[in-house]
Amino acid sequence: MLENETSFLQPLAITLLAIFLILINKTDTILLHYITSNKTPTPPSPPKLPIIGNLHQLGLIPHRSLQALSQCHGPLMLLHFGSVPVLVVSSAEAAREIMKTHDLTFSDRPKSTNFEKLLYNYKDIASAPYVEYWRQVKSICVLNLLSNKRVRSFRFVREEETKTMISDIMKSSPSVLNLSEMFVRLTNDVACRVALGRKYSDEGMKFEGLLREFTELLRNTNTGDYIPWLSWMSRVNGLEAKLGKVAKQFDNFIDRVIQEHMNCSSKSGDDDQKDFDMFAAGTDTTYIVLEWAMTELLRHPRVMKKLQNEVREIVRKGEHLTEDDLIGMHYLKAVIKETLRLHPPVPLPLRIAVQDVEIGGYKIKAKTHVMINAWQIGRDPKLYEKPEEFEPERFLNSEIDYKGNDLQLIPFGAGRRVCPGIQFAMAVNEIALANIVHKFDWTLPGGASGEDLDMTESTGTTLPRKNALRAVAIPFSC
Ligand code: HEM
Protein backbone atom coordinates (compact mmCIF):
# COMPACT_ATOMS: atom_id res chain seq x y z
CA MET A 1 0.00 0.00 0.00
CA LEU A 2 2.72 2.38 1.07
CA GLU A 3 4.75 1.36 -1.91
CA ASN A 4 1.73 1.97 -4.09
CA GLU A 5 1.25 5.35 -2.55
CA THR A 6 4.92 6.27 -3.11
CA SER A 7 4.74 5.19 -6.67
CA PHE A 8 1.65 7.40 -7.10
CA LEU A 9 3.25 10.36 -5.31
CA GLN A 10 6.50 10.32 -7.22
CA PRO A 11 5.04 11.27 -10.63
CA LEU A 12 2.74 13.78 -8.89
CA ALA A 13 5.69 15.47 -7.20
CA ILE A 14 7.61 15.55 -10.47
CA THR A 15 4.59 17.04 -12.26
CA LEU A 16 4.10 19.67 -9.53
CA LEU A 17 7.78 20.55 -9.64
CA ALA A 18 7.61 20.88 -13.40
CA ILE A 19 4.54 23.15 -13.17
CA PHE A 20 6.30 25.18 -10.46
CA LEU A 21 9.40 25.60 -12.60
CA ILE A 22 7.35 26.57 -15.64
CA LEU A 23 5.44 29.08 -13.52
CA ILE A 24 8.64 30.60 -12.12
CA ASN A 25 10.05 30.85 -15.59
CA LYS A 26 6.82 32.43 -16.84
CA THR A 27 6.68 34.87 -13.90
CA ASP A 28 10.29 35.80 -14.61
CA THR A 29 9.47 36.47 -18.24
CA ILE A 30 6.36 38.44 -17.27
CA LEU A 31 8.37 40.41 -14.69
CA LEU A 32 11.14 41.07 -17.18
CA HIS A 33 8.61 42.15 -19.77
CA TYR A 34 6.90 44.40 -17.22
CA ILE A 35 10.17 45.99 -16.19
CA THR A 36 11.33 46.58 -19.75
CA SER A 37 7.99 47.81 -21.06
CA ASN A 38 7.53 50.05 -17.98
CA LYS A 39 11.03 51.48 -18.20
CA THR A 40 10.16 55.15 -18.46
CA PRO A 41 12.38 56.91 -20.98
CA THR A 42 14.25 60.12 -20.28
CA PRO A 43 13.30 63.17 -22.40
CA PRO A 44 14.90 63.51 -25.84
CA SER A 45 18.38 65.03 -25.81
CA PRO A 46 20.50 66.58 -28.54
CA PRO A 47 23.93 64.92 -28.83
CA LYS A 48 26.40 66.29 -26.30
CA LEU A 49 30.16 66.80 -26.21
CA PRO A 50 32.47 65.33 -23.58
CA ILE A 51 33.03 67.57 -20.53
CA ILE A 52 30.92 70.54 -21.64
CA GLY A 53 27.81 68.56 -22.57
CA ASN A 54 25.45 70.89 -24.45
CA LEU A 55 26.90 74.16 -23.11
CA HIS A 56 28.24 75.07 -26.55
CA GLN A 57 24.67 75.03 -27.90
CA LEU A 58 23.46 77.80 -25.59
CA GLY A 59 24.98 80.57 -27.68
CA LEU A 60 24.92 84.20 -26.56
CA ILE A 61 21.14 84.42 -26.20
CA PRO A 62 20.16 81.13 -24.50
CA HIS A 63 16.35 81.49 -24.71
CA ARG A 64 16.62 81.80 -28.52
CA SER A 65 19.07 78.90 -28.90
CA LEU A 66 16.87 76.74 -26.67
CA GLN A 67 13.82 77.65 -28.77
CA ALA A 68 15.63 76.41 -31.90
CA LEU A 69 16.71 73.19 -30.14
CA SER A 70 13.21 72.51 -28.79
CA GLN A 71 11.81 72.74 -32.32
CA CYS A 72 13.81 69.56 -33.09
CA HIS A 73 13.52 67.78 -29.74
CA GLY A 74 10.15 68.80 -28.33
CA PRO A 75 8.75 70.80 -25.40
CA LEU A 76 10.52 68.63 -22.82
CA MET A 77 14.18 68.07 -23.62
CA LEU A 78 17.07 67.04 -21.48
CA LEU A 79 20.37 68.87 -21.91
CA HIS A 80 23.59 68.63 -19.97
CA PHE A 81 25.43 71.76 -18.88
CA GLY A 82 28.78 70.22 -18.06
CA SER A 83 27.86 67.42 -15.70
CA VAL A 84 24.49 68.91 -14.69
CA PRO A 85 21.27 67.54 -16.26
CA VAL A 86 18.95 70.38 -17.27
CA LEU A 87 15.34 69.84 -18.31
CA VAL A 88 14.24 72.56 -20.72
CA VAL A 89 10.50 73.23 -20.74
CA SER A 90 9.11 75.01 -23.79
CA SER A 91 5.32 74.72 -23.84
CA ALA A 92 2.52 75.96 -21.61
CA GLU A 93 1.28 72.38 -20.95
CA ALA A 94 4.74 71.22 -19.90
CA ALA A 95 5.16 74.34 -17.73
CA ARG A 96 1.83 73.52 -16.05
CA GLU A 97 3.19 70.06 -15.13
CA ILE A 98 6.25 71.63 -13.50
CA MET A 99 4.80 74.75 -11.86
CA LYS A 100 1.32 73.50 -10.94
CA THR A 101 0.83 69.70 -11.01
CA HIS A 102 4.26 68.86 -9.56
CA ASP A 103 4.96 72.26 -8.00
CA LEU A 104 6.17 70.77 -4.72
CA THR A 105 8.70 68.53 -6.49
CA PHE A 106 10.10 71.59 -8.29
CA SER A 107 9.89 74.04 -5.40
CA ASP A 108 13.64 74.44 -4.96
CA ARG A 109 16.20 76.51 -6.83
CA PRO A 110 19.58 75.37 -8.14
CA LYS A 111 22.62 76.58 -6.23
CA SER A 112 24.79 79.27 -7.77
CA THR A 113 28.18 80.45 -6.53
CA ASN A 114 27.34 84.07 -7.35
CA PHE A 115 24.14 83.98 -5.28
CA GLU A 116 25.94 82.20 -2.45
CA LYS A 117 28.67 84.85 -2.28
CA LEU A 118 26.49 87.94 -2.83
CA LEU A 119 23.38 86.95 -0.94
CA TYR A 120 24.77 85.66 2.34
CA ASN A 121 24.73 81.97 1.49
CA TYR A 122 21.21 81.91 -0.01
CA LYS A 123 19.55 84.07 2.63
CA ASP A 124 17.47 85.91 0.02
CA ILE A 125 13.99 84.61 -0.82
CA ALA A 126 14.64 83.96 -4.49
CA SER A 127 17.52 81.53 -4.02
CA ALA A 128 16.71 80.21 -0.52
CA PRO A 129 16.03 76.47 -0.37
CA TYR A 130 12.38 75.49 0.06
CA VAL A 131 12.44 75.19 3.84
CA GLU A 132 10.82 76.95 6.82
CA TYR A 133 13.26 79.88 6.57
CA TRP A 134 12.06 80.59 3.00
CA ARG A 135 8.40 80.42 4.10
CA GLN A 136 9.04 82.88 6.93
CA VAL A 137 11.03 85.48 5.01
CA LYS A 138 8.65 85.36 2.06
CA SER A 139 5.66 86.01 4.28
CA ILE A 140 7.48 88.78 6.23
CA CYS A 141 8.40 90.39 2.94
CA VAL A 142 4.86 90.15 1.53
CA LEU A 143 3.31 91.41 4.75
CA ASN A 144 5.60 94.42 5.12
CA LEU A 145 6.36 95.40 1.57
CA LEU A 146 4.55 93.59 -1.17
CA SER A 147 0.93 92.98 -0.17
CA ASN A 148 -1.72 94.96 -2.06
CA LYS A 149 -2.29 97.09 1.01
CA ARG A 150 1.40 97.90 1.51
CA VAL A 151 1.95 98.57 -2.17
CA ARG A 152 -1.02 100.98 -2.16
CA SER A 153 0.43 102.74 0.87
CA PHE A 154 3.63 103.57 -1.05
CA ARG A 155 1.66 105.41 -3.70
CA PHE A 156 3.06 108.82 -2.75
CA VAL A 157 6.63 107.50 -3.25
CA ARG A 158 5.83 106.31 -6.78
CA GLU A 159 4.05 109.54 -7.67
CA GLU A 160 6.88 111.71 -6.31
CA GLU A 161 9.63 109.75 -8.01
CA THR A 162 7.76 109.70 -11.31
CA LYS A 163 7.33 113.46 -11.04
CA THR A 164 11.10 113.82 -10.48
CA MET A 165 11.76 111.72 -13.58
CA ILE A 166 9.34 113.76 -15.68
CA SER A 167 10.93 117.02 -14.54
CA ASP A 168 14.43 115.64 -15.38
CA ILE A 169 13.17 114.72 -18.86
CA MET A 170 11.65 118.17 -19.25
CA LYS A 171 14.97 119.82 -18.30
CA SER A 172 16.97 117.82 -20.81
CA SER A 173 14.52 118.21 -23.70
CA PRO A 174 15.24 118.39 -26.64
CA SER A 175 18.59 116.64 -26.09
CA VAL A 176 18.96 112.91 -26.63
CA LEU A 177 18.02 111.11 -23.42
CA ASN A 178 19.32 107.84 -22.07
CA LEU A 179 15.94 106.39 -21.13
CA SER A 180 17.40 103.12 -19.84
CA GLU A 181 19.43 105.02 -17.24
CA MET A 182 16.36 107.03 -16.21
CA PHE A 183 14.26 103.90 -15.74
CA VAL A 184 16.98 102.22 -13.65
CA ARG A 185 17.17 105.28 -11.42
CA LEU A 186 13.41 105.52 -11.03
CA THR A 187 12.97 101.87 -10.01
CA ASN A 188 16.01 101.94 -7.69
CA ASP A 189 14.84 105.13 -6.03
CA VAL A 190 11.34 103.79 -5.43
CA ALA A 191 12.73 100.48 -4.09
CA CYS A 192 15.26 102.25 -1.83
CA ARG A 193 12.69 104.65 -0.38
CA VAL A 194 10.20 101.89 0.27
CA ALA A 195 12.61 99.26 1.58
CA LEU A 196 15.38 101.35 3.13
CA GLY A 197 13.58 104.54 4.03
CA ARG A 198 15.45 106.86 1.68
CA LYS A 199 17.07 106.93 -1.73
CA TYR A 200 20.78 106.62 -2.29
CA SER A 201 21.13 107.72 -5.91
CA ASP A 202 21.71 111.29 -4.73
CA GLU A 203 25.05 110.04 -3.35
CA GLY A 204 26.27 110.03 -6.93
CA MET A 205 27.67 107.30 -9.09
CA LYS A 206 29.13 105.30 -6.19
CA PHE A 207 25.86 103.69 -5.14
CA GLU A 208 24.54 103.31 -8.68
CA GLY A 209 27.85 101.77 -9.78
CA LEU A 210 27.74 99.29 -6.89
CA LEU A 211 24.18 98.31 -7.70
CA ARG A 212 25.06 97.88 -11.37
CA GLU A 213 28.02 95.60 -10.56
CA PHE A 214 25.90 93.68 -8.06
CA THR A 215 23.04 92.99 -10.48
CA GLU A 216 25.43 92.19 -13.34
CA LEU A 217 27.15 89.54 -11.20
CA LEU A 218 23.78 88.05 -10.26
CA ARG A 219 22.84 87.93 -13.94
CA ASN A 220 25.90 85.87 -14.84
CA THR A 221 26.59 82.22 -14.28
CA ASN A 222 29.81 80.70 -13.06
CA THR A 223 31.47 77.95 -15.17
CA GLY A 224 32.40 76.06 -11.99
CA ASP A 225 28.70 75.59 -11.16
CA TYR A 226 28.39 73.27 -14.15
CA ILE A 227 31.92 71.91 -14.55
CA PRO A 228 33.18 71.71 -10.96
CA TRP A 229 36.78 70.85 -11.85
CA LEU A 230 36.96 74.13 -13.81
CA SER A 231 36.03 76.23 -10.78
CA TRP A 232 39.67 77.35 -10.55
CA MET A 233 38.91 79.48 -13.63
CA SER A 234 37.05 82.06 -11.57
CA ARG A 235 40.26 82.62 -9.58
CA VAL A 236 42.27 83.17 -12.74
CA ASN A 237 39.79 85.34 -14.65
CA GLY A 238 39.22 87.64 -11.66
CA LEU A 239 35.57 86.69 -11.07
CA GLU A 240 36.20 85.39 -7.57
CA ALA A 241 38.04 88.57 -6.56
CA LYS A 242 35.27 90.72 -8.06
CA LEU A 243 32.59 88.73 -6.21
CA GLY A 244 34.51 89.19 -2.96
CA LYS A 245 34.94 92.92 -3.55
CA VAL A 246 31.30 93.59 -4.48
CA ALA A 247 30.00 91.39 -1.65
CA LYS A 248 32.13 93.36 0.82
CA GLN A 249 31.02 96.73 -0.54
CA PHE A 250 27.39 95.66 -0.50
CA ASP A 251 27.79 94.36 3.03
CA ASN A 252 29.23 97.73 4.11
CA PHE A 253 26.32 99.47 2.43
CA ILE A 254 23.75 97.27 4.20
CA ASP A 255 25.60 97.81 7.52
CA ARG A 256 25.28 101.53 6.98
CA VAL A 257 21.58 101.24 6.21
CA ILE A 258 20.99 99.13 9.32
CA GLN A 259 22.95 101.63 11.40
CA GLU A 260 20.84 104.48 10.02
CA HIS A 261 17.67 102.54 10.79
CA MET A 262 18.83 101.75 14.32
CA ASN A 263 19.69 105.39 14.87
CA CYS A 264 16.14 106.25 13.90
CA SER A 265 14.93 103.26 15.98
CA SER A 266 12.46 102.65 13.22
CA LYS A 267 13.42 99.15 12.14
CA SER A 268 15.10 96.10 13.60
CA GLY A 269 18.12 94.36 12.05
CA ASP A 270 15.90 91.41 11.10
CA ASP A 271 13.59 93.64 9.16
CA ASP A 272 16.49 94.79 7.07
CA GLN A 273 17.35 91.24 6.02
CA LYS A 274 14.21 90.98 3.94
CA ASP A 275 15.17 94.09 1.99
CA PHE A 276 17.92 92.39 -0.05
CA ASP A 277 15.43 91.02 -2.52
CA MET A 278 14.27 94.50 -3.40
CA PHE A 279 17.60 94.80 -5.20
CA ALA A 280 18.27 91.23 -6.20
CA ALA A 281 14.86 90.43 -7.64
CA GLY A 282 13.03 93.73 -7.83
CA THR A 283 14.99 96.47 -9.54
CA ASP A 284 16.76 94.45 -12.23
CA THR A 285 13.37 93.33 -13.56
CA THR A 286 10.98 96.26 -13.16
CA TYR A 287 12.95 98.79 -15.23
CA ILE A 288 13.34 96.23 -18.04
CA VAL A 289 9.57 96.36 -18.66
CA LEU A 290 9.69 100.14 -19.08
CA GLU A 291 12.72 99.87 -21.35
CA TRP A 292 11.08 97.36 -23.73
CA ALA A 293 7.65 99.01 -23.56
CA MET A 294 9.16 102.30 -24.77
CA THR A 295 11.24 100.45 -27.36
CA GLU A 296 8.09 98.84 -28.79
CA LEU A 297 6.15 102.12 -28.66
CA LEU A 298 8.92 103.88 -30.57
CA ARG A 299 8.86 101.09 -33.17
CA HIS A 300 5.08 101.20 -33.47
CA PRO A 301 3.85 104.80 -33.85
CA ARG A 302 0.25 103.52 -34.26
CA VAL A 303 0.32 101.93 -30.80
CA MET A 304 2.07 104.97 -29.31
CA LYS A 305 -0.63 107.28 -30.72
CA LYS A 306 -3.47 105.07 -29.51
CA LEU A 307 -1.96 104.93 -26.03
CA GLN A 308 -1.38 108.69 -25.93
CA ASN A 309 -4.98 109.26 -26.99
CA GLU A 310 -6.26 107.05 -24.18
CA VAL A 311 -4.08 108.67 -21.53
CA ARG A 312 -4.66 112.24 -22.77
CA GLU A 313 -8.40 111.75 -22.91
CA ILE A 314 -8.53 110.61 -19.31
CA VAL A 315 -6.11 113.27 -18.09
CA ARG A 316 -6.31 116.56 -19.97
CA LYS A 317 -3.21 118.57 -20.83
CA GLY A 318 -1.84 120.46 -17.87
CA GLU A 319 -3.67 118.23 -15.37
CA HIS A 320 -1.68 116.10 -12.99
CA LEU A 321 -1.84 112.34 -13.66
CA THR A 322 -2.30 110.26 -10.50
CA GLU A 323 -2.80 106.57 -9.76
CA ASP A 324 -6.58 107.06 -9.62
CA ASP A 325 -6.49 107.84 -13.33
CA LEU A 326 -4.87 104.50 -14.17
CA ILE A 327 -8.06 102.53 -13.45
CA GLY A 328 -9.65 103.43 -16.78
CA MET A 329 -6.47 103.00 -18.84
CA HIS A 330 -7.14 99.60 -20.36
CA TYR A 331 -4.92 100.08 -23.38
CA LEU A 332 -2.00 101.04 -21.11
CA LYS A 333 -2.42 97.74 -19.26
CA ALA A 334 -2.63 95.84 -22.55
CA VAL A 335 0.60 97.53 -23.75
CA ILE A 336 2.40 96.42 -20.58
CA LYS A 337 1.01 92.89 -20.85
CA GLU A 338 2.08 92.64 -24.48
CA THR A 339 5.56 93.87 -23.47
CA LEU A 340 5.75 91.16 -20.79
CA ARG A 341 4.69 88.55 -23.36
CA LEU A 342 7.40 89.45 -25.88
CA HIS A 343 10.11 90.53 -23.43
CA PRO A 344 9.75 88.70 -20.10
CA PRO A 345 12.50 90.23 -17.91
CA VAL A 346 13.32 86.74 -16.56
CA PRO A 347 13.22 84.66 -19.76
CA LEU A 348 14.26 81.35 -18.19
CA PRO A 349 13.08 80.94 -14.57
CA LEU A 350 14.98 78.16 -12.83
CA ARG A 351 13.88 75.34 -10.54
CA ILE A 352 15.36 72.03 -9.43
CA ALA A 353 13.71 68.62 -8.92
CA VAL A 354 13.90 67.55 -5.27
CA GLN A 355 12.97 63.91 -6.05
CA ASP A 356 12.51 61.53 -8.99
CA VAL A 357 9.30 62.27 -10.89
CA GLU A 358 7.56 61.37 -14.14
CA ILE A 359 6.60 64.29 -16.41
CA GLY A 360 4.84 63.90 -19.75
CA GLY A 361 5.78 60.19 -19.83
CA TYR A 362 9.47 60.92 -19.15
CA LYS A 363 11.48 60.09 -16.10
CA ILE A 364 13.12 63.12 -14.46
CA LYS A 365 15.74 62.37 -11.85
CA ALA A 366 16.12 64.20 -8.56
CA LYS A 367 18.58 67.15 -8.76
CA THR A 368 17.79 67.80 -12.42
CA HIS A 369 17.79 71.55 -13.02
CA VAL A 370 14.72 72.91 -14.80
CA MET A 371 14.65 75.92 -17.15
CA ILE A 372 11.21 77.13 -18.16
CA ASN A 373 11.42 79.04 -21.41
CA ALA A 374 8.83 81.73 -20.55
CA TRP A 375 10.12 83.79 -23.48
CA GLN A 376 9.36 81.00 -25.96
CA ILE A 377 5.97 80.18 -24.42
CA GLY A 378 4.94 83.83 -24.92
CA ARG A 379 5.74 83.47 -28.64
CA ASP A 380 4.11 80.09 -29.21
CA PRO A 381 2.10 80.22 -32.48
CA LYS A 382 -0.29 77.60 -31.04
CA LEU A 383 -1.22 80.07 -28.29
CA TYR A 384 -1.00 83.43 -30.01
CA GLU A 385 -1.94 84.64 -33.48
CA LYS A 386 0.95 86.43 -35.20
CA PRO A 387 3.07 85.84 -32.09
CA GLU A 388 6.05 87.95 -33.21
CA GLU A 389 3.91 91.08 -33.70
CA PHE A 390 3.53 93.71 -30.98
CA GLU A 391 -0.26 93.96 -30.80
CA PRO A 392 -1.61 95.02 -27.40
CA GLU A 393 -5.17 94.67 -28.77
CA ARG A 394 -4.89 90.89 -28.29
CA PHE A 395 -5.22 91.47 -24.54
CA LEU A 396 -8.02 94.04 -24.60
CA ASN A 397 -10.90 91.60 -24.26
CA SER A 398 -8.91 88.69 -22.96
CA GLU A 399 -9.05 86.96 -19.61
CA ILE A 400 -5.38 85.94 -19.82
CA ASP A 401 -3.43 87.28 -16.89
CA TYR A 402 0.20 87.21 -15.84
CA LYS A 403 -0.26 86.28 -12.19
CA GLY A 404 0.59 82.60 -12.62
CA ASN A 405 -2.84 81.13 -13.38
CA ASP A 406 -2.52 81.18 -17.17
CA LEU A 407 0.53 79.17 -18.06
CA GLN A 408 0.67 80.72 -21.52
CA LEU A 409 1.83 84.02 -19.98
CA ILE A 410 4.28 83.50 -17.12
CA PRO A 411 6.64 86.48 -16.89
CA PHE A 412 6.34 86.23 -13.08
CA GLY A 413 6.48 82.42 -12.91
CA ALA A 414 3.76 80.41 -11.18
CA GLY A 415 3.12 78.14 -8.21
CA ARG A 416 4.78 78.28 -4.80
CA ARG A 417 7.81 80.20 -6.04
CA VAL A 418 5.82 82.74 -8.04
CA CYS A 419 7.11 86.31 -7.89
CA PRO A 420 5.65 88.12 -4.86
CA GLY A 421 6.51 91.53 -6.37
CA ILE A 422 3.87 91.63 -9.14
CA GLN A 423 1.77 94.45 -7.66
CA PHE A 424 4.87 96.37 -6.66
CA ALA A 425 6.37 96.19 -10.14
CA MET A 426 3.16 96.88 -12.02
CA ALA A 427 2.30 99.88 -9.87
CA VAL A 428 5.66 101.51 -10.73
CA ASN A 429 5.45 100.60 -14.42
CA GLU A 430 1.90 101.83 -14.98
CA ILE A 431 2.31 105.26 -13.40
CA ALA A 432 5.70 105.81 -15.06
CA LEU A 433 4.62 104.78 -18.57
CA ALA A 434 1.34 106.70 -18.39
CA ASN A 435 3.18 109.90 -17.41
CA ILE A 436 5.88 109.52 -20.04
CA VAL A 437 3.42 109.25 -22.92
CA HIS A 438 1.08 111.83 -21.39
CA LYS A 439 3.62 114.63 -21.07
CA PHE A 440 5.78 114.05 -24.15
CA ASP A 441 5.82 113.07 -27.78
CA TRP A 442 8.81 110.92 -28.64
CA THR A 443 11.19 110.56 -31.56
CA LEU A 444 14.39 108.68 -32.20
CA PRO A 445 17.75 110.51 -32.33
CA GLY A 446 18.57 111.98 -35.75
CA GLY A 447 14.99 111.40 -36.94
CA ALA A 448 15.67 107.66 -37.35
CA SER A 449 12.67 105.49 -38.13
CA GLY A 450 11.28 103.04 -35.56
CA GLU A 451 12.03 100.13 -37.88
CA ASP A 452 15.74 100.91 -37.57
CA LEU A 453 15.68 100.71 -33.79
CA ASP A 454 18.25 98.28 -32.45
CA MET A 455 16.49 95.36 -30.73
CA THR A 456 19.52 93.42 -29.51
CA GLU A 457 18.93 91.66 -26.21
CA SER A 458 21.49 91.43 -23.46
CA THR A 459 22.74 88.09 -22.24
CA GLY A 460 22.26 86.72 -18.72
CA THR A 461 19.51 85.62 -16.36
CA THR A 462 17.55 88.86 -16.92
CA LEU A 463 16.77 90.36 -20.28
CA PRO A 464 17.42 94.09 -20.65
CA ARG A 465 18.34 95.72 -23.95
CA LYS A 466 21.99 95.22 -24.84
CA ASN A 467 22.40 98.89 -25.70
CA ALA A 468 20.75 101.70 -23.79
CA LEU A 469 17.53 103.08 -25.24
CA ARG A 470 18.02 106.66 -26.42
CA ALA A 471 15.22 108.95 -27.55
CA VAL A 472 14.22 112.60 -27.76
CA ALA A 473 11.31 113.99 -25.75
CA ILE A 474 9.18 116.83 -27.10
CA PRO A 475 6.85 118.32 -24.47
CA PHE A 476 3.24 117.76 -25.53
CA SER A 477 1.81 121.11 -26.52
CA CYS A 478 -1.73 120.74 -27.89
C1 HEM B 1 8.41 93.20 -13.87
C2 HEM B 1 9.05 92.91 -12.79
C3 HEM B 1 9.33 91.52 -12.31
C4 HEM B 1 9.38 90.34 -12.99
C5 HEM B 1 9.14 90.13 -14.46
C6 HEM B 1 9.69 89.30 -12.03
C7 HEM B 1 9.82 87.96 -12.36
C8 HEM B 1 10.07 86.97 -11.44
C9 HEM B 1 10.16 85.56 -11.76
C10 HEM B 1 10.02 84.95 -13.14
C11 HEM B 1 10.41 84.90 -10.62
C12 HEM B 1 10.58 83.38 -10.47
C13 HEM B 1 9.19 82.78 -10.31
C14 HEM B 1 9.13 81.29 -10.35
O15 HEM B 1 10.13 80.59 -10.19
O16 HEM B 1 8.02 80.77 -10.54
C17 HEM B 1 10.49 85.88 -9.56
C18 HEM B 1 10.74 85.60 -8.24
C19 HEM B 1 10.84 86.56 -7.28
N20 HEM B 1 10.62 87.91 -7.40
FE21 HEM B 1 10.11 88.87 -9.06
N22 HEM B 1 9.82 89.87 -10.79
C23 HEM B 1 9.59 91.21 -10.92
C24 HEM B 1 9.60 92.15 -9.91
C25 HEM B 1 9.82 91.88 -8.60
C26 HEM B 1 9.79 92.86 -7.54
C27 HEM B 1 9.47 94.33 -7.73
C28 HEM B 1 10.11 92.21 -6.40
C29 HEM B 1 10.25 92.74 -5.01
C30 HEM B 1 10.16 93.98 -4.70
C31 HEM B 1 10.33 90.82 -6.74
C32 HEM B 1 10.67 89.83 -5.85
C33 HEM B 1 10.80 88.50 -6.18
C34 HEM B 1 11.17 87.48 -5.21
C35 HEM B 1 11.46 87.71 -3.74
C36 HEM B 1 11.18 86.26 -5.91
C37 HEM B 1 11.49 84.90 -5.34
C38 HEM B 1 10.22 84.18 -4.95
C39 HEM B 1 10.50 82.79 -4.41
O40 HEM B 1 11.50 82.19 -4.78
O41 HEM B 1 9.68 82.31 -3.63
N42 HEM B 1 10.14 90.66 -8.08
N43 HEM B 1 10.26 87.13 -10.09
Strands 470-475 and 176-178: antiparallel
Type of residue numbered 204: G
Q: Which residues pair with 371 in a beta bridge?
A: 88, 350
Please indicate if the annotation marks 72 as binding a ligand. Answer: no
pLDDT of residue 463: 95
**In 3-state terms, what secondary structure has residue 307?**
helix
ipTM at complex level: 0.99
Q: What is the pLDDT along the chain (478 residues), one digit of tens a residue?
A: 334 444 445 555 555 555 554 554 444 444 444 444 458 999 999 999 999 999 999 999 999 999 999 999 999 999 999 999 999 999 999 999 999 999 999 999 999 999 999 988 888 899 999 999 999 999 999 998 999 999 999 999 999 999 999 999 999 888 999 999 999 999 999 998 998 888 887 776 678 788 889 988 988 888 899 999 999 999 999 999 999 999 999 899 888 888 887 877 555 444 444 456 666 677 889 999 999 999 999 999 999 999 999 999 999 978 889 999 999 999 999 999 999 999 999 999 999 999 999 999 999 999 999 999 999 999 999 999 999 999 999 999 999 999 999 999 999 999 999 999 999 999 999 999 999 999 999 999 998 999 999 999 998 899 999 999 999 999 997 6
Instruction: Determine the atom of ligand 1 nearest the C-alpha atom of 351.
Output: 15
At the top level of CATH, the class of 67-475 is mainly alpha
pTM: 0.89
pLDDT of residue 6: 43
Rounded-to-integer distance, Cα 123 and Cα 244, Å: 17
Domain definitions of the chain by residue range? 67-475
Rounded-to-integer distance, Cα 464 and Cα 345, Å: 7
Whose alpha carbon is nearest atom 1 of ligand 1? 286
Rounded-to-integer distance, Cα 303 and Cα 473, Å: 17
With a Cβ cut-off of 6 Å, ligand 1 is lined by 125-126, 138, 146, 277-278, 281-282, 285-286, 289, 345-346, 349, 411-415, 417-421, 424-425
Distance of CA 422 from the midpoint of ligand 1 (Å): 7
Whose alpha carbon is nearest atom 2 of ligand 1? 286
> Exposed, middle or buried by CB within 10 Å (0-12, 13-18, 19+), for 12?
exposed
pLDDT of residue 15: 55
| Probe target for ligand 1 pocket from 412, 417, 429, 431, with the most ligand atoms within 8 Å of CB | 412
Instruction: Determine the atom of ligand 1 nearest the C-alpha atom of 429.
Output: 1
| Probe target for ligand 1 pocket from 190, 194, 276, 285, with the most ligand atoms within 8 Å of CB | 285
User: Which phi and psi (to 5°) does residue 442 adopt?
Assistant: -130, 140
